[in-house]
Structure 1
């Protein structure tokens, strides 16, 4: 909203500058085109929480970077990917209408792509995967979130577990990139179940960013943005906290409470009525 307000101000200023001429300036033409692109982009928080009636997650993975599937050992009847599903369902709940959420649960419903032979990735190299392997795009009724598991690490910061990337000014669908080897080794001596929990907490955290948390599309209802760490929550027990610590993973109980977003972030979502 801030960017659109700034854009409108620039348009008005440029219009005033050109009032004495009989044609639209190239600058104004460019600003109008950019405004049209933003308005025609369905991948925005204001669309997700107004006209969207279905949301699905598409998952692709590099050969050798397969996501965890199956059930949790600590909760044998709980599917690993039910964590992502439950959190998305909760994010879209209580809006006076129903949003149907679909999340794949096994590798047969995910897409594998060849080993890319990289030990590090730049953002541009990651984004180059999207047109190759993303099958569906969002529209104003259906949100399509894309999650990609890769080997290696982010070149700019080898300690990053995952990153959500969208186009300039928010134009373009957000895509979540998960660095599988970093998750597998972010703490020493991880049990298989701990890796499953860490992976799901990571995916859900990044999808939170894609939805617009914290203050990246969904406005704040209270002062809980950890500005020192960017768009993260100050609540250390919230899934949008900046660090995925060992104690948080240990205390997470997907069988009894799969929801990771804290009350502050949920209140932001519930109060958001674009």
Structure 2
């Protein structure tokens, strides 16, 4: 995928070539957990600042055999520590589950899986994020466009680990851990409200064609990260970083 996404109210998807999908069905998760079933970007300040939540728990649920690499999780944790202001710390819990057997996936199926596998929800001054590592592909994939991950609700992400592994097996491809970390960081940045989806712009750097992305070259939130050339070039030097304009947006919304 490029690690890219088009702006939608509820959904951001990372693709090899620019693409998007929309979803507005929030009724698959019990209403009692409604704080975790909100439009994408609405929890940006809650994730970034300590105003309402002093800590964050990341619940990573992986299908057995499709767990993320330790290196990717370590990179992801460092990224969160750099950007989130959480005095009580950042907790990452990982566990595995059996395959759902629902591949190829769409967001409705992913939401269904979340209802049966998510166990952590906002409680007290702890906000939670659910990340599902799937054992299949997105049902919209074709020969020229594949989906690596999607931020689909205010505290929910899916990573298509099967697709990431297929890409990393290509000759001269970046290491799997690099692709995983880049996808995780990009998708979580959408939860943090980038670009202009819950975290207000402090300067005009939103891509006017691929809304919700940055127009600064080589920024983590750039839309034109294609695996063929763009992604290969960007990930050749490691996981891309947020540019100063994106960081300024996050800091103005309570982050580091």
* TM-score bin, normalised by smaller chain: 0.7 to 0.9
2:166 alignment counterpart: 185
**Counterpart pick for 2:117 among 133, 136, 146:** 133
How far apart in 2 are the matches of 1:157 and 1:230? 21
Equivalent in the alignment of 2:57: 56
**Number of corresponding residues:** 209
Structure 2 Cα separation of the partners of residues 114 and 248 of structure 1:
34
Q: Which one has a bigger Cα radius of gyration?
A: 1
| Over 4 Å off, 4+ runs | 40-43
Does 1 or 2 have the higher relative contact order (CA < 8 Å, sep 6+)?
Answer: 2
User: Aligned partners of 1:227, 1:86: CA distance in 2, in Å?
Assistant: 30
Tell me the TM-score normalised to structure 2 length.
0.73
Aligned-pair RMSD on alpha carbons? 2.7
SS at match of 1:185: helix
Change (3 A) 1:102 1:150: same
Which consecutive unaligned segments of at least 5 residues does structure 1 have?
A: 4-36, 70-78, 105-109, 167-172, 254-258
Spell out the pairing of 1:223-234 with structure 2 (5 A cutoff): 223-234=204-215
**Following the alignment from structure 1 to structure 2, what is the Cα–Cα distance between the partners of residues 198 and 182?**
10
Tell me if structure 1 keeps the 8 A contact 2:42–2:193: no
CA distance in 2: counterparts of 1:64 and 1:113, whole angstroms = 10
Hey, what does 2:152 align to over in structure 1?
165
Structure 2: runs of 5 or more not aligned: 1-8, 10-33
Higher helix share: 1
Partner of residue 14, structure 2: none
What is the DSSP-based 3-state SS (H/G/I as helix, E as strand, rest coil) of the residue aligned with 1:80?
Answer: helix
TM-score after normalising by structure 1: 0.68
Counterparts of residues 207-226 of structure 1 (less than 5 Å): 207-226=188-207
Partner of 1:88: 80
Give distance in 2, aligned partners of 1:98 and 1:203. Answer: 22
Q: What's the offset of the Cα at 1:99?
A: 5.0
Shift of 1:161: 0.6
Q: d(CA) in 1 for partners of 2:66 and 2:43?
A: 29
> What is the CA-CA distance between 1:43 and the residue it aligns to?
6.2
